[in-house]
Structure 1
């Protein structure tokens, strides 16, 4: 089954310094029927204005992924880590037993656009940790590039959950097929462009597909496309 959620059906809030779209219940948005998809708990599409951001705040028992689409994001945390996350870079933070962190737009003259993603961890009480890596467009070109995974994959960041996150930059007219074991879930977010899934469902920029009971999916680009695909364990 392929369920398409159009971009405009996401919860949207404009706080001035932050424009955000939530795919699942988060902050002031609550829908008891839209809390998670397997271990995927939060998927926020954020645009932060120059020099603004999220001040120091706590997290615990969550795996947090950030992917910068455009601009530069500045990270600081209570473990002493700090760094700049640029377009094409992915950050993984294990909140575990507890961590404080801040995320700011490093630029004073241009917005930063990034995805903030949370997964339930495989177990509670993990030791907090942080890492980041770069995945340039060339590495994503016409392929599914694993960038975060719960199983060892060369170059991918490690996560404490049975998921694999892929990124792809697919040329118009090209297609890819992803196959997975029975009983798993797939989640696809179209960052930019236009694609068709298995010859039936068309997605435009900002649309999402929640895929169940399918062992494979074909992704065809009707125009140049940039997307994220997740291979997820089911929590049932």
Structure 2
């Protein structure tokens, strides 16, 4: 469960309501197998100070997403989460909107992955569903790739078989390269079951916005249970 949106709500009013660390612990209590945070330089949702506080109250995996600028790397090396997902988002973007060009950025990403491995942190690179980018990620020495699923979510309502096709190919490429496989962006209760049914060897999906939206109507505990059910179809 990505808890960024809970932090966005807190920051809109000031103070500490809702408490993001408590929310993370509650998500675990309700069945979440991991917590994702994506601190950005402007701290418009998750703040850098939130991250160690969240880690201290959960026992499931912590995944920290972000662009590996110096401030971000200092945070993750101090916190030592289970996983760091490298995302090439610029400082002014509303949300992540593209994967890495792992060919052009191979030297840089290789250095980052090596540093993470030295510190016992699993590395994942956020990529578009393109075999070349998946193979490029493998060449960087990462452990996993995370497929950027916005295109799948956008096309799902029109032709779900067409929407999933390139993801199946990218997922198969990841397996051939010996990479673990994550996915995320705009996945929800409508499209998640079909995605995981077509790619049953996914290691992890990271979902935030849709979970928080559904929780407004169903409550957080029932929502997490519903998503776990969708993953098990």
TM-score range, shorter chain: 0.3 to 0.5
**Greater helix content:** 2
TM-score, normalisation: structure 2: 0.36
Structure with more of its chain in strand, by fraction: 1
> Larger RCO: Structure 1 or Structure 2 (Cα < 8 Å, ≥ 6 residues apart)?
1
TM-score, normalised relative to structure 1: 0.36
